Amino acid sequence: MLKSAAVESGAAGGKPSPLYVQLAGVLKDEILSGVYLVGSLLPTEDRLCERFSVSRYTVREALRILREGGLVESRQGAGTVVIPLRSTESDIQQVMSINDLVAFAEGTRFVIESIKTVVIDARLAARTGLAAGEEWLEVRGYRHSEKIDSPFCLTEYYINRAFAAVGRLLPRHNGPIFPLIEDMFGQSVAEVQQQISATLVSPALAEGLNVAPATAALEVRRAYKTADDVIAQLTINTHPASRFQHSMTMRRVKV
């Protein structure tokens, strides 16, 4: 496969591309065509060497090109993971799995404004779906991206009281919270239920997001459930409409 690509390049009058560039091109095409979905692992270096009959150096250089192109990232102990594509002008989320939520949060910066215990009142119960009268740990702040000057969303975390001890780690933590819950308490988030609703930015929130009051926005609510069907964490992200785009790929399942 790589040899034929080099021949085609030379036939066009140009110098054949190095093998690692050709390999990067083949893998990129497979990622974009859906052979490797967002959140999935690429084959190991050994398997890629065997498949394409190339050296480990060639494979590593090809993976470096994919990393620099924002298509994959290397995770210690996991391998090379396909990550969501990003845009320079807005927050584009391509969510195919729970792993994508980790990748998205790790690529941003969360600035905490407050951490406190709250009792779910009627208003908050209607907004979150949590039971009124229960105590939850509330964490509020703004999430930032290096590519956007203003914060691109307000993030509100509601953490189950049983896991509230995770709060003491948050001032020194910048990534997603639910992996901390999993590590601290031996839990596993098995399901995330997501709901996206249209809303308007309130005057108080407008200042924090640096937009005009009553600006159109999208509210993304996610409930993180353990294998026992317990909500460990509920998150509400409020995005100005101009700074949010949700991308999803659906494929027909053969039955």
Question: What average pLDDT does the segment 222-237 reach?
Answer: 94
- Report how far residue 67's alpha carbon sits from residue 83's, in angstroms, rounded to the nearest whole number: 9
7-11, 67-71, 74-78, 146-150, range with the lowest pLDDT:
7-11
pLDDT at 255: 52
What confidence tier does 97 reach under pLDDT thresholds 50, 70, 90? low
Predicted pLDDT at 12:
45
Is residue 104 predicted with pLDDT exceeding 70? no
C-alpha to C-alpha distance for 24 and 40, rounded to whole angstroms: 17
For residue 3, pLDDT over 60 is answered with no
Q: Per-residue pLDDT averaged across 144-153, rounded?
A: 79
**Domains, the chain, with CATH or none:** 2-82 (1.10.10.10), 91-244 (3.40.1410.10)
Mean pLDDT in residue range 11-30: 80
- pLDDT score at 246: 67
Q: State pTM to two decimals.
A: 0.61
Q: Give the per-residue pLDDT at 112.
A: 94
Reported as a pLDDT band with limits 50, 70 and 90, residue 174 is: confident
Asked whether the beta carbons of 136 and 124 are under 8 A apart, the reply is: no
Decide if 174 contacts 113 (C-beta within 8 A): no
Query: CA-to-CA distance for 113 and 120, rounded, in angstroms?
Result: 19
Q: Confidence class of residue 105 from pLDDT cuts 50, 70 and 90? A: low
State how far the Cα of 94 lies from the Cα of 89, in Å rounded to an integer. 15
Cα–Cα distance, 144 to 162 (Å, whole number): 29
Distance CA 56, CA 45 (A): 7
Name the residue with higher pLDDT: 116 or 12: 116
Inform me whether the pLDDT recorded for 5 exceeds 50: no
Percentage of the chain beyond pLDDT 90 is 54
Please report the pLDDT score of residue 250 as a whole number: 61
Taking the CB of residue 244, how many other CB atoms lie within 10 A of it?
Answer: 19
CA 41 to chain centre: 15
For residue 172, the model assigns a pLDDT of 85
In this prediction, residue 150 carries a pLDDT of 80
Residue 16: C-alpha distances to residues 22, 26, 29, 58 (Å): 9, 15, 18, 15
Residue 35: DSSP 8-state: S
The sign of the CA dihedral 74, 80, 84, 86 is: positive
More confident residue, 97 or 212: 212
More confident site: 9 or 229: 229
pLDDT in tens, 196-209: 899 999 999 999 99
Quote the CA–CA distance of 244 and 24 in Å, as a whole number.
30
Residue 254 is predicted with a pLDDT of 56
Q: Which of 240, 216, 250 is nearest to 149 (CA)?
A: 240
Strands (DSSP E) found in 126-166: 135-145, 148-160
State how far Cα 66 lies from the chain centre: 18
CA distance 175 to 231: 19
